[in-house]
Amino acid sequence: MNFVGIITEYDPFHNGHAAQLAMLRARGAQTIAVCMSSGAVQRGGVPLLPEPVRVQAALQAGADLVVALPGPYASAGAEDFAAAGVHLLGALGCDTLAFGAETPDAARLLEAARQLDQAALQPELRRRLAQGQTFAAARAAALQAVLPGGGELLRSPNNILGIEYCKALLRQKSNMQPCPLPRLGAGHGAQVPGRAGQIQIASASFLRAAVQKNGMAGMEAYVPCEAKELYKDAAARGLLLSPQRFSTALLALLRSRRAEELAAVRGCSEGIENRLRAAIRTADSAETLYGQMKTKRYPHARLRRLALDAALGVRAGALPPLPPFLHVLGARRAALGRLQQARLPASPSLARLERALPDQGEVFRLYQAFVDFSALCRETPQPMGLACTQKPVLL
C-alpha cells in the first residue's frame, strides 16, 4: 500500500472520513488521492457544500490530492459511479482502492463481484424480476443461490457499493487492490449518531438533515475542528445548499423540456418518461415530483437521478462510458508530482483540458452545466462558470 485512492462525496466531510484517512496512514499509505463528486452527488442532487470547501476539509484532514468525479458521472447509478471512479484513480496511478464496508473482507467482496458478472446468474435474475421482485431483491436472491451468504452482502449499503468497486476493478483489469475498511460509528444513512472510541460519528445523511433543521450547530460535534471553522465560514457566505432554490431551479428546467427531450434522457425506459412528464405538470417541489413519479419498480434515488438528468439534458448515449480527463480540484504541493505519471490528461484548468480533448465537447458542456446548477442552488446563488474559474485548493 503506497498510493491509495478513495472514491467519495464528502457530503459533508465528517469525523468518520477523517478516521478513515488516519486508518490508511496507519496501514502505511504514503499518498492518498481522493476522487470526489463535483457538481452533483450520487443520490441525484447537489452537495450541501461546494467543492472548494469539501476539498479543503479533506486536505486539512490528511488527503494529498483531490480530483473531480464530474457531475454527469457522479449522478449515475452505483455501477457507473463506481466504474468512473475506479477508472480515474487507476489513471492517476493508485495501487490500492480503499472503501468502507460492513463486511471488510476483500476476498468475499471480490467473489461476489465475479459471480454477479457471470452469465449463469442472469436466468435466475430474470425469473425473479418476472415474478415482480425489485431489482435489488431479485439480484440478492440470485446471488444467494450461487454464493451462500452473497445475498446477505447485498443487503448492506456500503457492501453494495464495495462490490460495484470490485466489479469495476475486475472489468477494467485494474492493478489496484481493494482495501475494504470497517465502517466506524454510525452506519450508512443511520439517523442515530454513534461512537468510535472517544470520537462522535454521524452519517452524512444525518448531518445534512441536522443542518437543515438546526443550522451549522447541528453537526459541530461530528466534524473535525478545522472543518467546523470552514463550514461556519461557508455558511456565513451563503454557500449552504438551499432546498427551496434546488426545487425551483429543478422544476423550472424540467418545465422547459419537450416530450421528445424527456424520452431521450439517460435512464428512461418502460415509459417512465410519461410519469415524469405528468409529474412535472403539477409538482410544486422536488419532493412532490419524486412522490408522484414513485413506482414499486424504481427506487427513490433512481427517480432523483432521472429528474436531474432530464433537467440538465443528459441524453442516453451522449457521454463516453468513462471520464476522459483528470480535473484536479486541490492538492498538497508535495503530491503534485504524482500527476506526471497520469495516464489521462490531468490539470487544475478545465479550459486546458478542453483544449487537449477537442472531441469531448459534450462531456465538458455537461460537467459545467452540473457545476453551474449546483452554484445556483446555494442560499446565496453563485456565478456561472466556476468549473473553469475556480482555483484549485493548494496546501
The pTM (predicted TM-score) of the whole model is 0.95
pLDDT, average across residues 368-395: 98
Q: Among 114, 223, 99, 221, which Cα is nearest to 161's?
A: 99
**Entry field: residues in the chain:** 395
Find out whether 216 and 358 touch, Cβ atoms under 8 Å.
no
Q: Quick one: cell of 42?
A: 450520487
Reference 75, options 207, 267, 242, 245; nearest CA is 267
Q: What ranges in the chain are assigned the alpha helix state H? A: 15-26, 51-60, 71-74, 78-92, 106-116, 122-130, 135-146, 150-153, 157-171, 204-214, 225-236, 243-255, 259-263, 272-282, 286-293, 300-312, 350-356, 361-376, 386-389
Which of 221, 222, 216 lies closest to 204 in space, CA to CA? 222
Surface-to-core class of residue 171, CB atoms within 10 Å of its CB (0-12 exposed, 13-18 middle, 19+ buried): middle
CA 152/CA 57 separation, integer angstroms: 34
Amino acid at 301: A
Q: Quote the pLDDT of residue 190.
A: 61
Residue pair 199/15 in contact (Cβ under 8 Å)? The answer is yes
Tell how far CA 122 is from the center of its chain.
Answer: 27
Cα distances (Å, whole numbers) of residue 359 to 68, 157, 353, 364: 20, 37, 11, 10
Distance, CA of 53 to CA of 13 (rounded, Å): 9
Amino acid 161: pLDDT: 96
Q: Where residue 295 falls among pLDDT bands split at 50, 70, 90?
A: confident
Domain spans, the chain: 243-312
Looking at mean pLDDT, say which of 196-210, 233-247, 287-301 comes out highest.
Answer: 233-247
Query: Could you identify the residue written with the cell 470520537?
Result: 199
- Paired sense of beta strands 194-196 and 3-8, if any: unpaired
pLDDT band at 269 (very low <50, low <70, confident <90, very high): confident
Average pLDDT along the chain: 95
Closest among 17, 172, 11, 160 to 86, alpha carbons compared: 172
Taking residues 270-281, what's their average pLDDT? 92
Beta carbons of 291 and 297 less than 8 angstroms apart: no
**Pairing between β-strand 326-331 and β-strand 65-70 as defined by DSSP bridges:** antiparallel
Q: Contact 38/88 with Cβ under 8 angstroms?
A: no
Residue 23: the pLDDT is 96
Buried-exposed string 95-124: b where 16+ CB fall within 10 A, e elsewhere: bbbbbbbbbbebebbbbbbebbeeeebeeb
Residue 79 vs residues 38, 75, 117, 336: alpha-carbon distances, Å: 18, 11, 12, 29
pLDDT digits (tens, 9 = 90+) for 95-137: 999 999 999 999 999 999 999 999 989 999 999 988 988 888 8
State how far the Cα of 118 lies from the Cα of 133, in Å rounded to an integer. Answer: 20
For 171-226, write each residue's pLDDT tens digit: 999 999 999 999 876 665 567 778 878 889 999 999 999 999 999 999 999 999 99
Q: For 26-56, what is each residue's pLDDT tens digit?
A: 999 999 999 999 999 999 999 999 999 999 9
Block residue for cell numbers 462531456: 363
